[in-house]
Structure 1
Amino acid sequence: MNAEIIAVGTELLLGQILNTNARFLSQKLALLGIDVYYQTVVGDNVGRLKSAIDVAKNRADILIFTGGLGPTKDDLTKETIASCVGTELVYDEQAMQYIEHYFKRTGRPVTENNKKQALVLKGASIFANDHGMAPGMGLEEGEKLYILLPGPPKEMNPMYESYVEPFLMKKVHREAQLYSRVLRFFGIGESQLETEIEDIIDSQTNPTIAPYASDGEVTLRITAKHSSSEIAQKLINETEARILNRVGSFFYGYDEMELHVKATELLKEKGLTLSCAESLTGGHFSQRITDIPGASEVFNGGIICYSNEVKQQVLQVPQAVLESEGAVSAVCAGILAQNVRHLLKTDIGISFTGAAGPDGLEGKAPGTVYLGIAAGEQPPFTVKLSLVGSRQVIRERTVKYGFYYLLKKLEEL
């Protein structure tokens, strides 16, 4: 089967927002074996949307719409589709109850245009919106399948994963099912990882392997198709073992796991506490770890030592070190990690110092970063990073490397 993605919204045509929904859906549909041959963007206009639907019906089995399900007059996707397929709109009771409850909690009356969001195509399968008001829906009409999804990615993405993907799997794969597992890697680029396992990718049949790169990380999705879940998992396990035999040193977790969550979980498992000294990252490391509920069990606190005065007066970095080695140095990173550990009375201390850019610092190029980790009374571990990108990218990647090397240290302890 093949699909066409139709994004509805004049703001997309004006370039006011990016059409990230099409990328997300194309990647997800590929994993189901559904080919996307066309992507269409159309403004909030009934006539042009009808024309787009007429064209799509002649070249696609599945028509997937994003956007145009909201409360305003220019939200006209479901009304237009209802007209095209000859059906009517009816109120979905569950969606209406959610909308009424929401407005009751906010102390405001429910307006008629907000009630509009609870209208759905008669006879459609309804997809709950766990992050918004307008539900999605799937309608079979003849040999065509119409899928309607909200436009905001924060609503559309989880709706697809929770409800639409299982719905499509039943429609597309009536016997064999698809089973997937995501492997997450850090510290290796996408091209290098692909090179290391190129022969495995080239020989793939079932399971299939799909690499993705995002924000300094690389993920591999292994997907097996079989009528037996046990056999599918066995196929995935065998492929995973072959991959990790090559690049296992860069592997850190599965599926939606993130570096900072994994590191925090490992700290809890080992009953260890952490503190940090942040120069160029300016508190970003502390923010990431305190975003996690229950982080207070393992994280005592951090010190933002942005100036040399704070490094010297609070964290006791000797002036001689700052003069001879500089703040951007392995020696300084090691002292910061060790001293913040002692000062905040934790098992492990981690530090970040460097030049985030756009200019260099102490004769060091932008992106020169030193990271230090002190565990117990062992000599501090330090590593030099040479990062590229904007100031913000360098800071964010520094934090990710911090969690990555923290993970490695925790695995050693």
Structure 2
Amino acid sequence: MAVAEIVTIGTELLLGEIQDTNSRYIARALRDIGVDLYRLTTVGDNIKRITATLQEALMRADVVITTGGLGPTVDDPTRQAVADAFNVDLVFKEELWDQILERFTYFNRTPTENNKRQAYIPANAIAIRNDVGTAPAFAVELGFKTLIALPGVPREMEHIMKTFVVEYLKKRYRLEDEIILPWVVHTVSLGESSIDEIIGEMEKLSNPTVGLLAHPGQTDVRVTAKARSAEEAQQMMEPVLQEIREKLADYIYGENEETIQSTVAANLVEQNLALCVLEVGTDGLIHSSLAEHLSPELLSGQLLDVDITHETFNALMHEYREKKQADFVLGVMLTPQNQFLELYVALLDNQNLQDYQRIYSGPSGDAARWALNVGLDQVRTRLKKLKGIG
């Protein structure tokens, strides 16, 4: 089975000027043909460092895929770095230059002399046509090892992955339609360490594998299976998923693409219940997230830019319940408390008001998302009880 590494190239990535979306796309493409991805590395536009990074990657992996550094300028060093990694020269390919000229002619543009750099590839490389850009890609084979250099422009990279790379890898490594299928179970209100205590033994499985990923106020349980087909992978995962669902039943709000806001919204619609949301210190994140799934008839709310006591806040919740004719009012206050943030959550229905406080000490940029998960979990739990579940 082939093992791969991805090397993204570009100083702009290290400076945080652009976000790397290429790796996610490539990782999913490799996953879908059963190639194990073990490492992702980012390196700046320095020939020596790129060369060393590629040589190290080739010692570990069967397939190394690079993105970026194939442009026409001096600070596009990938071609030379790959040539140095394989100890060969760069050679000019007339057919690549013709393809570049063809692209420029199509857009009624005139290439500059430095565009000729893009027609040079390592002497032992296989040229890969780029039909949507001017930077040709290439592949270098050495025994069982393969290095594939792709453009950094996402549209160009994706096109070459679809039209060449996937089928090329399947043929070269005799990948018999094996896939890696992930399944994600979303939990809330239970920390990563607590979940590890409950399902820790399952995390030792080899196929399917089980892993945890923590988010603000939420922990995902990822189950991944490798098989010949999606159906076979699903069958392999099902007993594991069922055990996870049983052990974490009270804390699971959804799976895969489901979000806590979509789950809460679906339950409100199903039970025809209206919710009003009052927020302080969250920038209105909870209401705006729910508004993507609920009509104004079932959702109302107010962002309050005031410093008020819990008692005053609770009184406002009662007022808004009458004013908006809501079945529930969710109140969420996120306010500074010394060096931390205090979260106050209250849920009001026609029976009573339940409230509690928590202290948040994590990154400030994650506080609103954490408050959203904590607050909406109160609504989710209440709706489950109304429905007679749990």
Deviation at residue 157 of structure 1 after TM alignment: 11
Partner residue of 2:322? 342
**Structure 1 residues 87-114: Cα deviation after superposition (integer angstroms, max 9, x where no partner):** 8547889xx69x96xxxxxxxx97858x
User: For this pair of structures, how many residues does the alignment match?
Assistant: 367
> For residues 53 and 296 of structure 1, do their structure 2 counterparts lie closer, same or farther at Cα, with a shift above 3 Å needed?
same
> In the superposition, relative to structure 1, how do residues 155 and 393 fare at CA in structure 2: closer, same or farther (>3 Å)?
farther
- Name the residue aligned to 2:303: 304
Q: Is the 8 A contact 1:126 1:137 kept in 2?
A: yes
Paired position in structure 2 for 1:106: none
How far apart, CA to CA, are the structure 1 residues paired with 2:381 and 2:165?
35
Q: Which amino acid aligns with 2:370?
A: R
Verify the 8 A CA contact 1:280 1:356 in the aligned structure 2.
Answer: no
Distance in structure 1 (CA, Å) of the matches to 2:371 and 2:18: 27
> Are the counterparts in 2 of residues 372 and 383 from structure 1 also a CA contact under 8 Å?
yes
Q: Secondary structure at the match of 2:352?
A: coil
**Structure 1 residue 242 displacement after superposition:** 0.8
The answer to which structure, 1 or 2, has the higher relative contact order (CA under 8 A, 6+ apart) is 2
- Distance in 2, Cα, partners of 1:155 & 1:340: 49
TM-score by length of 1: 0.68
Identify the residue that residue 180 of structure 1 maps to in structure 2.
182
Cα–Cα, structure 1 residues 179 and 341, in superposed 2: closer, same or farther, change >3 Å? same
CA deviation map 1:110-135 (0-9, x unaligned): 7858x99x99997548799xxxx899
- Corresponding position of 1:397: 370
CA distance in 2, matches of 1:126, 1:247: 48
- Work out the CA distance in 1 between the residues paired with 2:272 and 2:165: 39
- The answer as to whether partners of 2:7 and 2:64 remain within 8 angstroms in 1 is yes
Amino acid at match of 2:342: T
SS in 1 for 2:336: coil
Tell me if the contact between 1:8 and 1:67 (Cα under 8 Å) persists in the aligned partners.
yes
Unaligned stretches of 5+ in structure 2?
A: none
Q: Do the aligned residues in 1 keep the contact of 2:186 with 2:253 (CA within 8 Å)? A: yes
Q: TM-score, normalised by structure 2?
A: 0.72
Displacement of 1:398 in angstroms is 1.1
CA positional deviation for 1:239: 0.4
Shift of residue 302, structure 1, vs aligned partner: 2.0
Q: 1:239 to 1:224 in 2, by over 3 A?
A: same
Deviates most, 249-258 or 21-30: 21-30
Q: Distance in 2 between matches of 1:271 and 1:71?
A: 60
**Inter-partner Cα distance in structure 1 for 2:131 and 2:200:** 39
- Structure 1 contact 8–65 (Cα < 8 Å) conserved: yes
Are 1:336 and 1:372, in contact at CA under 8 Å, matched by a contact in 2?
A: no
The aligned counterpart of 1:383 is 356
Q: Deviations over 1:167-203 (max 9, x none)?
A: 698457425433221111111111111111012223x
Is the Cα contact below 8 Å between 1:354 and 1:369 reproduced in 2? yes
Q: Does 1:210 align with 2:211?
A: yes
Which range is displaced more, 157-166 or 225-234?
Answer: 157-166
Residue identity (%) = 22
Quick one: which amino acid aligns to residue 8 of structure 2?
A
CA distance in structure 2 between the aligned counterparts of 1:165 and 1:296, rounded to whole angstroms? 45
Alpha carbons of structure 1 residues 79 and 410: separation in structure 2 relative to 1, 3 Å: farther
2:268 pairs with 1:267: yes
Aligned partner of 1:141 in structure 2 is 141
The SS at the match of 2:305 is: coil
Q: Which residue is equivalent to 1:75?
A: 76
Distance 1:351 1:165 in 2: 51
Aligned to 1:317: none
> Residues 159, 179 of structure 1: CA spacing in aligned structure 2 closer, same or farther, 3 A cutoff?
farther
Pairwise mapping of residues 12-411 of structure 1 onto structure 2 (< 5 A)?
A: 15=15, 32=34, 34=36, 36=38, 41-46=42-47, 49-50=50-51, 52-54=53-55, 56-69=57-70, 74-77=75-78, 88=93, 89=96, 124=128, 139=139, 141=141, 143-148=144-149, 170=170, 171=173, 173-174=175-176, 176-202=178-204, 204-290=205-291, 292=292, 295-297=294-296, 300-307=299-306, 327-328=309-310, 334-358=314-338, 366-375=340-349, 377-411=350-384
Q: Distance in 2 between matches of 1:160 and 1:402?
A: 44
Q: Deviations over 1:277-329 (max 9, x none)?
A: 11232423233334x2x644555432223325xx7xxxxxxxxxxxxxxx13x
* CA RMSD, Structure 1 to Structure 2 (Å): 4.8
Residues 126, 267 of structure 1: alpha-carbon distance in 2 compared, 3 angstrom cutoff: farther
Change (3 A) 1:61 1:367: same
Distance in 2 between the 1:52 and 1:336 partners?
60
Supply the distance in 1 between the matched residues of 2:298 and 2:162 (Cα, whole angstroms). 33
**Following the alignment from structure 1 to structure 2, what is the Cα–Cα distance between the partners of residues 407 and 91?**
61
Give the deviation of 1:385 after TM superposition: 2.5
Distance 1:303 1:393, change over 3 A: same
* Equivalent-residue separation in structure 2 for 1:208 and 1:160 (angstroms): 31
Q: Is contact 2:137-2:149 (8 Å) kept? A: yes
Matched ranges for 1:1-16 at <5 A: 1-11=2-12, 15=15
Take 1:57 and 1:30, find their aligned partners in 2: how far apart are those partners? Answer: 19
Distance, in Å, in 1 between the alignment partners of 2:169 and 2:26 is 15
Q: Which residue type is aligned with residue 302 of structure 2?
A: I
